[in-house]
Structure 1
Amino acid sequence: MKTYKLIDMADVIRSKNSGPYELTFDVIFKTFDDYNFFKEHEPITAASFSKLYGIKEEDVFNVIYFDPAKAVKVTIKRPIPSGALGEVDVYGAQQHAPLVHFTFDA
């Protein structure tokens, strides 16, 4: 068994608004081989993502593996709506840091 770092496999790891009440995370892989390996082992699931972000599993709305783009998209409920009092990232563009450090064993 070997430990793999997502940052070594991905060209793009980003977060963004998906409306005022949702955040979307995109991981776009460098190669189809990396994407297919990742998809086969499926280390990102609603359960693993909720654990990584410290949220309830039911707040992970979608985990989509999108073959044509060699990408994974995850959409979650925003903890605080965009622009609401106490919200610190209106665009949702700074929420991807835990994914940058994501590792999995395969």
Structure 2
Amino acid sequence: MKLKDLATVIRSKNASPFVTTLDVFFASRENYETVKASGVLTKELLAKLYKLPLDSVLGVWFVDDCQGIKMSILKHVPSDHPLAADLYGAQQNAPLLDVEIPGSEVPEV
């Protein structure tokens, strides 16, 4: 299954003029644990998805208490730069939507 099929919320936003944060939240503990255990959401994957050098991926953090994942990346250019494509960082979650999560299966009906 894809991340968008398991998560309830996948969003992005500014964390500063230089950093975009990506949040993923799950309604069920099972879906959260499946994604966490898959090992798919890594700094290396984010660097590839967002076409960034690895050191521009600040981290991937799993927050068990809220069944959420927080990821932070440096922006290609600061928010106030004339070439900035997304001033608010609000449309940067799209590359995460189709990430395949091994170990997750479509429930049989």
Unaligned runs of 5+ in 2: 104-109
Cα distance in 1 for residues equivalent to 2:83 and 2:46: 23
The alignment covers a number of residue pairs equal to: 103
Pick aligned residue for 2:24 from 19, 22, 27: 27
Contact 2:2/2:99 (8 A) holds in 1? yes
Bigger share in strand? 1
TM-score scaled by structure 1?
0.92
SS in 2 for 1:94: coil
Matched, 1:65 2:62: yes
Indicate the percent of aligned positions where both proteins have the same amino acid. Answer: 36
SS in 2 for 1:105: coil
Task: Quote how far apart the aligned CAs of 1:105 are.
Answer: 2.5
- Which residue matches 2:15? 18
TM-score scaled by structure 2?
0.89
Task: Quote how far apart the aligned CAs of 1:94 are.
Answer: 0.6
Task: Quote how far apart the aligned CAs of 1:96 are.
Answer: 0.7
- Counting only pairs closer than 5 Å after superposition, residues 91-106 of structure 1 correspond to structure 2 as 91-106=88-103
Cα distance in 2 for residues equivalent to 1:81 and 1:28: 27
Cα distance in 2 for residues equivalent to 1:35 and 1:104: 11
Unaligned runs of 5+ in 1: none
User: What CA RMSD, in Å, does the superposition of the two structures yield over aligned residues?
Assistant: 1.0
Name segments (4+ residues, structure 1) moved above 4 Å: none
